[in-house]
A and B are shown apart, each in its own frame.
Chain A
Amino acid sequence: MSWVADLAQGTSGVRHAKGLAAFERVGFPGPRLEGWKYTSTRSVAKVDWVRADVVAAAAIDGLRLPHAAVELVFVDGVYQADLSRGLDGAPVSLEPVAQAELQPQHVGSEDGFVAINDALATEGFVLTLGRDQVMTAPVHLLFLQQGGEQPVTGQVRLVVKAERHSRMQLIETHHGGEGQTFVNELITVQVADGAKVQHSVMGRLGSGQLVHTVRAEVGRDATYHSHMAWLSGSLVRSDILARLVGQGGHVELDGLYVLADTDHVDNHTVIRHEVPNCTSVETYKGVVGGKARGVFDGMVYIAKGADGTDSQQNNRNILLGDHADVKTKPTLEIYADDVKAAHGATVGQLDQNQLWYLRARGIPKAKAEKILTHAFVADRVLAHPDEAWREVLAEAVEARLAVLEG
């Protein structure tokens, strides 16, 4: 019996039962599934996890974001009300939701991790920003995987609702340490008509493992902008499904991964154009060295009738050293004819001409390589509109590049 069934024993409720049944049917995703071809889930499947709990204290002081209006803290996937701040008087509200109200999400999914979340999540929260409300400062979701003596796991379940014409900035930071931990997060983002959600994620997970699943639904003239930065992690699976369900909607997915050592990051994104006249832009960039593996598997789906779609998808990679590898698979599935869709992917080393140019000007090779690598990733950092966050991110990216450059 797997640990999922063990941990499910303490739960009741229809969602849990359905989730467990679904998990027992599909199991942990394996390499035979097209979407999990490049990522092994053994390191999650073969461990006897115990549930994480509320903690007395956690070393989060250095991890807080000073400019955040609201800060919600999760340790090993469990919400820590005492450590969180800023909810009083904020335009945004956080409500714990009864189990019964959180619908099972695994339906129609081949993904065992959503089923696990259905089966095991005992708490869930809805974060709502009311109609016409504009928040200038971000909501910070601080996730720390600190672990304990035993391997611990936590299930995070969040629903983010941006009501009509509201604007919200959401920043998730995921920090890991030395402990053996696994967090399975399912976040549903509803962007109502005319609303705008900026959703940023930074992960520095170390030995921590994270399966991060985003389900976004974008209404009429609404915008969902996701900005992912994965800077380390023994197993990170980032799943995004963004559905454009109202005309004039816009989805922008930006991604950056800087990987060294034995990092493994698998980016799996799907943008579904279901109605006419929507646009999407996706740009993922990676620098992969050491013995790391970086995966990009991006799909743009344009449904029948979704005319007037304009979609661009791009993945660029720099591979350093002879033990790293990159798998990229930018795919298009198009069933409408009046569309513009382009995608591209590159994998390579630093441009030799650029290197030569810099060296000809007296810059040593190592330094020149550094300049070019930094320039390559910098534009993803700069793609973020929030200056304060850009600074935090830039510092974290620099630190990771320093590791990569030895």
Chain B
Amino acid sequence: MGNDPIDTQLSSSYKYGFSIDIEADTFPPGLNEEIVAALSAKKKEPEWLLQWRLKAFRHWQTMTEPTWAHVEHPPIDYQAISYYSSPKDTDGPKSLDEVDPKLLETFEKLGVPLHEREALAGVRKVAVDAVVDSVSVATTFRKELEEAGVIFMPISEAVHAHPELVKKYLGSVVPIYDNFFAALNCAVFSDGTFVYVPKGVRCPMELSTYFRINEAMTGQFERTLIVVEDEAYVSYLEGCTAPMRDENQLHAAVVELVAEGSGEIKYSTVQNWFPGDEEGKGGIYNFVTKRGICKGNRSKISWTQVETGSAITWKYPSVILKGDDTVGEFYSIAVTNNRQQADTGTKMIHLGRNTTSTIISKGIAAGRSDQSYRGLVSMGRKASNARNYTQCDSLLIGKECGAHTFPYVDVKNSSAQLEHEATTSKVSDDQVFYLRQRGLSEEDAVQLIVNGFCKDVFRQLPMEFAVEAQKLLEVSLEGSVG
């Protein structure tokens, strides 16, 4: 069967590629201790945080950029990036009315439910913390959350409002020495989200952050920290988009999750950064460190991600299963098209007894893209009765793409049990033929097959996201079917 009808479909363009002119307050490009200090001063940060940043920066200078990922890109000039960009007027809008209408317009175009829309709220309430470039602009639903005792605010505010919590947990999961990009983030992170759910509280709504890179030549280094205490629960949604630009933009975020005894965190991501054009020009470099720790017994952390964007993705959401009877989950769909490259996967580090983890990874490669699953499952000496099940499947659409699997398995305990399965195949001609016989067009047939392929992961997404994710998938693969 020919690829042509699909190829023509694939060429649909990036729908979120607009850039708005809001006056921005931006640092000149470059990185040195003064920039770090200036950044810290700008945010009126306490001394300990400044010292922490400087320590990270000094360490970062001694590190070299890792090269083991299965991706190719021109060297990144860290001195050419501006490390702070904030929309002007950061004295803090108190309500939505004070927010720059242009900004609201951006969100409107993106379809972020920034307003407390009744329709959405009727189904399920979602609190949105929107981040344009580096500063968190508006936090909705805050009051209702406050009543429940949930803290949901920009991390820059949390540093002042809840210094003891931030100090205790910041860097506790991803230490400043962790890796090159994490160290860079520690030094220059500009803003992000802080969530704290106290003991026994089930967060009354889903929390959501929308990240968006707006200013040209700015890197975005946000930092997310989510802590749930004993028997608490939170579901957190993260969505990302960026306007279309010719240059590549760097995004090096750090996300840390801490689940205490019987606590549960569900973290869902729909990532739709600008992937670059058909020739691979522009696009986001998405080098992200995401890690959670199931600290207390019986706690659970679940990562779900739908990755359709970014020129290069380099991301391994991980779970350290430290407590006994803890559970880690990773559900992922990664779609690459055109010249996109993705090297993504997860790490499950089993330390406690009776720990279980599940990894379901679905990769779809089209066009001339290159995609790798890279994962580690490690079971330590003390991880008695640890269990893991891993399934990573790849679907190839087109002759020019690549799909790779690099699973690392390391078992030191004889009662541990682990299974890994992976398959790679193309959309089967038989299946397409069958569906076309029943009157579906070729695109619809492939769409249906792809949706079926991804079903296991879609099921894990909160409802609002599942719909969006399915749409995104359609858009990403438009024109690639054949």
In the complex, per-residue mask of A307-327: 1 if CB is within 8 Å of any chain B CB, else 0: 100000000010111101111
What's the Cα separation between A82 and B397 when bound, in Å?
A: 60
Stretch at the interface among B53-61, B84-92, B323-331, B410-418: B410-418
Stretch at the interface among A54-62, A169-177, A248-256, A329-337: A329-337
Residues of A within 8 Å of B275, CB to CB, are none
Distance (whole angstroms) from the CB of A269 to the closest CB of chain B: 15
Q: A334-B396, A337-B396, A341-B424 are in contact. Are A322 and B404 (CB under 8 A)?
A: no
B411 contacts A337, C-beta separation under 8 Å:
no
In the complex, per-residue mask of A339-376: 1 if CB is within 8 Å of any chain B CB, else 0: 11111111111000000000000000000000000000
Distance (whole angstroms) from the CB of A359 to the closest CB of chain B: 18
B416 contacts A339, C-beta separation under 8 Å:
no
Q: A321-B414, A339-B426 are in contact. Are A334 and B403 (CB under 8 A)?
A: yes
Q: A344-B421, A345-B420 are in contact. Are A319 and B414 (CB under 8 A)?
A: yes
Interface Cβ pair total, 8 Å cutoff: 112
Q: A328-B409, A334-B403, A337-B401 are in contact. Are A320 and B414 (CB under 8 A)?
A: yes
Q: Which residue of B is nearest A293, CB measured?
A: B412
Residues of B within 8 Å of A325, CB to CB, are 410-412
Q: Which residue of A is nearest B408, CB measured?
A: A329
A347 contacts B421, C-beta separation under 8 Å:
no
Distance (whole angstroms) from the CB of A153 to the closest CB of chain B: 31
B414 contacts A324, C-beta separation under 8 Å:
yes
A331 contacts B405, C-beta separation under 8 Å:
yes
Residue of A321, A324, A345 contacting most chain B CB atoms (<10 Å)? A345
Residues of B within 8 Å of A328, CB to CB, are 409, 411, 420
Task: Please tell me if B402 contacts chain A, counting CB pairs below 8 Å.
Answer: yes
Residues of B within 8 Å of A305, CB to CB, are 399
What's the Cα separation between A333 and B398 when bound, in Å?
A: 16
Task: Please tell me if A34 contacts chain B, counting CB pairs below 8 Å.
Answer: yes
Task: Please tell me if A338 contacts chain B, counting CB pairs below 8 Å.
Answer: yes
Q: A335-B402, A341-B425 are in contact. Are A347 and B407 (CB under 8 A)?
A: no
A337 contacts B419, C-beta separation under 8 Å:
no
Q: B419-435: which have CB < 8 Å to A?
A: 419-426
What's the Cα separation between A317 and B415 when bound, in Å?
A: 12
What's the Cα separation between A337 and B68 when bound, in Å?
A: 24
Residues of A within 8 Å of B422, CB to CB, are 330, 332, 342-344
What's the Cα separation between A34 and B403 when bound, in Å?
A: 19
Distance (whole angstroms) from the CB of A198 to the closest CB of chain B: 29
Q: A347-B411, A348-B417 are in contact. Are A342 and B399 (CB under 8 A)?
A: no
Task: Please tell me if B381 contacts chain A, counting CB pairs below 8 Å.
Answer: yes
Task: Please tell me if B18 contacts chain A, counting CB pairs below 8 Å.
Answer: no
Q: A337-B426, A344-B419, A348-B418 are in contact. Are A331 and B411 (CB under 8 A)?
A: no
- Give the A-binding residues of B (Cβ under 8 A): 68, 379, 381, 394, 396-426
Top 10 nearest A-B pairs by Cβ distance?
A348-B417, A337-B396, A345-B420, A341-B424, A332-B405, A347-B411, A319-B414, A335-B402, A328-B409, A337-B426
Q: Could you list 20 A-B pairs, sorted by A, with CB under 8 Å? A: A304-B400, A307-B399, A321-B414, A322-B414, A326-B410, A327-B410, A327-B411, A328-B420, A331-B406, A334-B396, A337-B398, A337-B426, A338-B426, A339-B424, A341-B424, A342-B423, A343-B405, A343-B420, A345-B409, A348-B416
15 further A-B contacts with Cβ under 8 Å, apart from A332-B404, A342-B424, are: A319-B411, A319-B416, A325-B410, A327-B408, A327-B410, A329-B408, A330-B407, A330-B422, A336-B399, A337-B399, A339-B396, A339-B424, A343-B421, A347-B379, A349-B416
- Give the B-binding residues of A (Cβ under 8 A): 34, 304-305, 307, 317, 319-322, 324-349
